Amino acid sequence: MPRTSKIAESPPHAVEQALITLGRNIRTARLRRKLARRELAERIGISRYVLADIERGKPTTGIVAYLGALWALGLLSQMDELADPDRDLEGKILEAARSPKTAPKRKAFDDDF
């Protein structure tokens, strides 16, 4: 993450914690499967050093490396639930509280690009 962004320099505590937990979970899953770093890293398509970073919860590592790890461990399916609009209670409430005509929309209902 060159030309460093503020969040990379000092992430919020909650984010740091989430990363450490995620890294530890990935490590646990690897050990349970009796996979060496080198081997799992190769399956993911990264170097063993990056996998070490992931297990340590390094913030600036590309998200594709993290998701690749989950994928290689067969744990990627859990991603679908993350930030699922159907589960975003607060967002739903906010949306419902507004009248039909709102926001700076593009065309109609939007969500496309």
Partner DNA sequence: GAGATATGTTTATTTCAATCAACATGTCTA
Partner DNA sequence: TAGACATGTTGATTGAAATAAACATATCTC
**Residues of this chain that bind DNA (CB under 7 A):** 1-6, 8, 30, 36-39, 45-50, 52-53, 55, 58, 60-62, 65, 101, 104-107, 113
The CA distance from 86 to 83, in Å, is 8
Provide the token pair at 100.
């039909």
Q: Which of 39, 40, 73, 108 binds a copy of itself (CB under 8 A)?
A: 73
Residue 33 in 3-state DSSP?
coil
Burial label for 55, CB within 10 Å (0-12, 13-18, 19+), is buried
By the rule CB under 8 A, 7 interacts with a copy of itself: yes
Q: Assess contact for 70 and 79: CB atoms under 8 A.
A: yes
Which residues contact a copy of itself by CB under 8 A? 1, 5-8, 11-12, 14-15, 18-19, 21-22, 24-29, 31-34, 36, 44-47, 50, 56, 59-68, 70-71, 73-76, 78-85, 87-88, 90-92, 94-95, 98, 102-104, 110-111, 113
